Structure 1
Amino acid sequence: MYHIFYSNKEGGLNMQSSTRGAMEELDCLLVKEQSSQYQISPTLLWNLNGKNKKCSSPLRWRHAICDWYYDFVDHFHFDREVVGVAVNYFDRYTSINAVSLDDNENALSTYHTVAVTALFLAIKLHATSCEVDDLQELRNRALSKILYDTPQPKNILDMEMNMLKALEWSVNPPTLHQFAFLFNKFHPSREICTGSGSYIYEATRYQVELAIFVPQLLAKFKPSIIAFAAMKNTEEKIAAGNPVPTTDMKLSYEALTSHSGVVVDSTAVAQCQMLLKRVCPELPDLEHFHEAATHGTIIDMQVDRNFANSPTIVVDF
């Protein structure tokens, strides 16, 4: 059973072209996330729950990998969405090939090579940036650093081909960031209050960037559910601090379904909301993100990453 899924609801004939385009993109993402190609296998959780005498829990290794991904991507000013893509590659490959940490150095080396190759491939295919003029040059610098900072660059290139074959060349996963962006497109606050709209988008991204650290969330819920739950948590934060505009915010579900073929399983969303609150017990204050809006940040084109640096200490499930 899919918690959020595509249906053949037709939009209005007078729909704005930008809204129609967003609806079509959302429909495609909803169809794509149902495909088994992009789903995380339960094998991943079995591998990560294993024990190893030489190192700490594999969950901590995966956590450290996510930390390194974010540090690397931030250093080169790429959009953080590329981390979500790299983690998708890493989780799917380690699930398919049952890559786990055991008591030999070869296994540890393979685990490291998979992690580095996943980021290498994600940057090559998906790295974007609003902060640099020459993205191609920046991407080449980042790829060169990954490749030639390793003892044996050939291992990365060989693993890249192995990874592409194992993933059956399905390298365009629906990401949490894409859903966060598109759900915000349909949120009524965009037409009511620019400050609230900016905060909803930033705070939703803030939570989904944290969710990437928790494989239990990624394995249990589809990206659309996680992004929608993060948006609802953000609405609750706004309601707690300023109840006046929340009447319109309560229409977020209706606004979303009126523009797209989305059916929301409220039970799944509520469950995901609770787990996200364990990952992120307290969202930044509204003013923290409103400051970005007052400095002219346009959320559709560029996000001030200074206000979206997610903390990396998360709870264990």
Structure 2
Amino acid sequence: MPALTPNHLEGSLLPALDQNDLADLIAIMRIQEETTYMVHDYLADKEELRKLSAKPVDEDCRTKMCEWCYHVIDYCKFRRETVGIGMSFLDRYLCTRKGKETLGNRKEYQLAAMTTLYVAIKIHEPMEIETSLLADLSHGMYDEMEFVTMEQTILQTLKFRVNGPTPLGFVQHFMALTPKGIHHRVTQLLMDFARFQTELVISHQKFVAIRPSEIGFAAILNALEGIGENLVSKKDQAAFIRNIEDFSEIAKEDVEKTQLKLSLLFITLIEGEYDEVLKVADSFKEEEEPEKLTNGISPGKTLGNLFRRGSK
């Protein structure tokens, strides 16, 4: 049974599913992210990268290419989640022996990033863009055949496996586990809040190696804390979290560090530099409580306040 992918209804709730079917879908997605679709931080080994080139691909390259991809997607009025899907193709490709060669050549990296967006659009959008348009968008840096060749190389390297789980996909499936006591409008608000966070992580290399299920779970935890107990009772929050833990076999405590990183990312987009704050968070030992990192301030509540500020 294939997992439902975000191209069906980005930012929307899934239709009602039988609990057994939902459990099977989540289990399949969890297996996928642990096996075929698993990635690592291919930019972590700086010494190895310098062996490839004096000026290898770095985190800033990812940020710039993501910005470019979002500009294209927004202009074409496609779903923004398609950028995340395209970047997931790119990440998996760069984790392979063939893709590693690309890390030493920024021009080839840019070609690969543009191509994976093209592939994601072709698979997940109702309309596809032509390679001639990509060539035009590259301002003559690449011709049509270079995109065609790169597409074939990437797809063959990935063995045409292009239906993996994403953070938003997990959020959508987890949201199907909300208790009946939560009003449907509140459920949609939680969905929107969590979806927004999954979109933020795409541009940041620090999240590449974190499993999509953990990001999805962490985003929902922040969403719950962000809207508070006035809209979702403490009892319903606990039941919802317990449902996610049971179906995903992930403990809430195991994603708290990711939850904190998501909060810091949003905060620093508005008030500071993310990477500098992240170094502080990473300096704490795994066993320390996340509350100590923020002097007792709840990451989710902080994120919720800023989310509302940013929406004004």
TM-score (norm 1): 0.70
1:39 is paired with a residue whose SS is coil
Q: Name the % identity.
A: 24
1:249 is paired with a residue whose SS is helix
* Residue 236 in structure 1 maps to residue 236 in structure 2: no
1:78 is paired with a residue whose SS is coil
Q: Which among 158, 165, 175 is matched to residue 156 of structure 2?
A: 165
Q: Distance in 2 between matches of 1:73 and 1:18?
A: 34
One-letter amino acid of the structure 1 residue matched with residue 112 of structure 2: V
* Residue 207 in structure 1 maps to residue 197 in structure 2: yes
* Greater relative contact order (Cα < 8 A, sep 6+): 1
* Residue 89 in structure 1 maps to residue 85 in structure 2: no
Q: Distance in 1 between matches of 2:48 and 2:256?
A: 26
2:86 is paired with a residue whose SS is helix
Unaligned runs of 5+ in 1: 1-15, 128-134, 290-306, 308-317
Number of residue pairs matched? 255
Say whether the 8 Å CA contact 2:121–2:129 is kept in structure 1: no
Unaligned runs of 5+ in 2: 1-15, 268-301
Q: Indicate the residue corresponding to 2:243 in structure 1.
A: 255
Relative to structure 1, is the Cα distance of residues 143 and 203 closer, same or farther in structure 2, using a 3 angstrom cutoff? farther
Relative to structure 1, is the Cα distance of residues 287 and 34 closer, same or farther in structure 2, using a 3 angstrom cutoff? closer
User: How far is the alpha carbon of 1:274 from its aligned partner?
Assistant: 1.1
One-letter amino acid of the structure 2 residue matched with residue 266 of structure 1: K
Q: Distance in 1 between matches of 2:78 and 2:181?
A: 29
After the TM superposition, which residues 1-317 of structure 1 pair with which residues of structure 2 at under 5 Å, given as runs?
A: 17-35=17-35, 37-46=36-45, 58-96=58-96, 97-99=99-101, 107-127=105-125, 135=126, 139-141=127-129, 144-150=132-138, 151=140, 152-188=143-179, 191-219=181-209, 221-239=210-228, 242=230, 245-257=233-245, 260=247, 262-281=248-267, 282-283=302-303
Q: Distance in 1 between matches of 2:215 and 2:244?
A: 15
Relative to structure 1, is the Cα distance of residues 287 and 269 closer, same or farther in structure 2, using a 3 angstrom cutoff? closer
User: How far is the alpha carbon of 1:93 from its aligned partner?
Assistant: 1.6
Q: Distance in 1 between matches of 2:33 and 2:88?
A: 12
User: How far is the alpha carbon of 1:158 from its aligned partner?
Assistant: 0.3
TM-score (norm 2): 0.71
State the superposition RMSD in angstroms.
3.1
1:42 is paired with a residue whose SS is coil
Q: Distance in 1 between matches of 2:47 and 2:84?
A: 18
